Structure 1
Amino acid sequence: MRERWSVPETVAAALSDRPVDGRVCLEAGAGHGNATAGLLDAGAASVYAVTDDSDHADAVRERCGDATDRLAVLEADLRQTPIADDSVELVTAHALCNVLSPAALDAVAAELTRVAAPGAHLVVDDYAPLPEGAAVRDLFAVENAAVELADGRPALSFYPASTLRSVFEGHGWRFDRERTLLDPVPWTERHLAAHAAVATEAAGRLSPELGRPLGRRADRLVEAIGSESAGRMYSVAMRLPDGA
């Protein structure tokens, strides 16, 4: 009897037209293992769940531990993964690209292409740029400012679907389809509190003159917004040519 995992509706919808059953799969940027759970639930022969965050790696192991015979959780930089060339038949990147800078995005796309077998499928799910007037844009701007000042890179980059498509096409992938997963996106109090926590942590590593106003601004925005539904989450599916 196949094990069952809780799979978000967005993940199930993104994978519903992909040939997962019996395939060697990769979740790039495993997070809490949403796509890993979806791939295992859909019958993947094996899944590599790759993350550079040890807490996320532990969360995936705990969540999908019943599938140890089909799951390998790898703690690695997605720009240099310990996976052989041409060995993965289906790659997912679920809510990954929005945390990658443009330079990192291209490097990750190159690495995902390296490990993908000829004819492999790719599913990239992410968030479109937020519309003008969305209150959450202000919170994300504060988060980006604090992280960029602390680390020299933005925390978030919201790419249009056409941009992600172009990046992967530059590495030889061919466009298959695009679909909407959420419209609008529900940004809950929990989501916004997590983003504020990132902002305040980064602000705490700055001088008080810079950091304190950013931290206070993030906290005030979370309190004022509460929750909001805004923007769109999309799914782009692509494929490598056979014999590539």
Structure 2
Amino acid sequence: MVPTTVSTALADRPVAGTVCLEAGAGTGNTTAGLLAAGADRVYALTDDPEHARLVADRFADAGDRLATVEADLRECPLADDSVELITAHALCNLLEPVALEAVAAELTRVAAPGAHLLVDDYAPPPEDAAVGRLFAVENAAASLATGRPALTFYPSSVLRAAFSAHGWTVDRELTLLDPVPWTASHIEAHAEAVRSAAASLSPTSREALLAELEGVLDDIEPESVGEMYGLAMRY
């Protein structure tokens, strides 16, 4: 099944017959959309071994139309000028600014002249959004554990500028979700990310973070808030 956000983002792009890269494949939802739209070959790239296995299993019948690649996007193993359409669906919010710049450079390197790039992501949530408190705790836990935040929500103007600096021209922006539904499963996934990061910390820091997390979870409920936007660019 292809999520509506993915099918909407792909609808006005020439996918059929192209070589595509799903940058940050996750569970392969955009790969599903690309294959369904007739892509000749899809490289589903992720740095998560579990996601790589999941995508390979999910599309086992795709044959040589799919190559699952386990690699860091900052060092993409694909050749220069080798990809005609690139998707980055809900990827950039996982990249801190330094990593965003490195990924933008690598996506540009592998893009063929005239390539299309789709960048779909979440705008910064409103200041009064309850999920914002959860994201703040997640960022605190990740920063203590790894020295990097887990989430960075960029306005569309920032991502426009980041890719324009590498020669991309934005030819379309649309709203994919408004508001964004943050469900109970989303809340639990972000809470689990806090617990996972906290597990590597000292007992004092771990206990403080988990206490803060429980306080947030006591107050938070599923809510629909914020926006997901879709940028389409040409190289």
Q: Same fold (TM over 0.5)?
A: yes
Q: In structure 1, what is the equivalent of residue 199 of structure 2?
A: 204
Q: In structure 2, what is the equivalent of residue 221 of structure 1?
A: 216
* CA deviations over 1:144-199 (Å, ceiling 9, x no partner): 00100110000000000010010000000011110000001000111110101111
Q: What are the within-5 Å matches in structure 2 for residues 159-238 of structure 1?
A: 159-238=154-233
2:54 is the alignment partner of 1:59? yes
Q: In structure 2, what is the equivalent of residue 113 of structure 1?
A: 108
Counterpart selection for 1:39 from 34, 41, 45: 34
Deviation at 1:221, TM superposition (A): 2.0
Runs of 5+ unmatched residues, structure 1: 1-5
Which has a greater percent of helix? 2
* CA deviations over 1:101-155 (Å, ceiling 9, x no partner): 1000000000000000000000000000000210000000000001001100000
Deviation at 1:218, TM superposition (A): 1.8
Is the Cα–Cα contact under 8 Å of residues 189 and 222 in structure 1 kept in the other structure?
A: no
**Separation (CA, whole Å) in 2 of partners of 1:218 and 1:38:** 35
**Separation (CA, whole Å) in 1 of partners of 2:8 and 2:183:** 21
**Separation (CA, whole Å) in 2 of partners of 1:106 and 1:122:** 15
Counterpart selection for 1:94 from 68, 76, 89: 89
2:4 is the alignment partner of 1:9? yes
Deviation at 1:226, TM superposition (A): 2.6
Identity %: 65
**Separation (CA, whole Å) in 2 of partners of 1:95 and 1:195:** 15
Could you state the TM-score of these two structures normalised by the residue count of structure 2? 0.98
Partner of 1:31, secondary structure, is: coil
**Separation (CA, whole Å) in 1 of partners of 2:218 and 2:59:** 35
**Separation (CA, whole Å) in 2 of partners of 1:229 and 1:83:** 38
One-letter code aligned to 1:172: G
**Separation (CA, whole Å) in 2 of partners of 1:223 and 1:40:** 42
Deviation at 1:80, TM superposition (A): 0.8
Deviation at 1:61, TM superposition (A): 1.1
**Separation (CA, whole Å) in 2 of partners of 1:30 and 1:223:** 32
**Separation (CA, whole Å) in 2 of partners of 1:150 and 1:24:** 38
Partner of 2:79, secondary structure, is: coil
Deviation at 1:203, TM superposition (A): 1.2
Moved more, 139-148 or 56-65: 56-65
Counterpart selection for 1:19 from 9, 14, 27: 14
Partner of 1:231, secondary structure, is: coil
Deviation at 1:9, TM superposition (A): 0.3
Partner of 1:69, secondary structure, is: helix
Is the Cα–Cα contact under 8 Å of residues 143 and 195 in structure 1 kept in the other structure?
A: yes
**Separation (CA, whole Å) in 2 of partners of 1:219 and 1:62:** 36
Q: In structure 2, what is the equivalent of residue 3 of structure 1?
A: none
Is the Cα–Cα contact under 8 Å of residues 204 and 212 in structure 1 kept in the other structure?
A: no
Runs of 5+ unmatched residues, structure 2: none
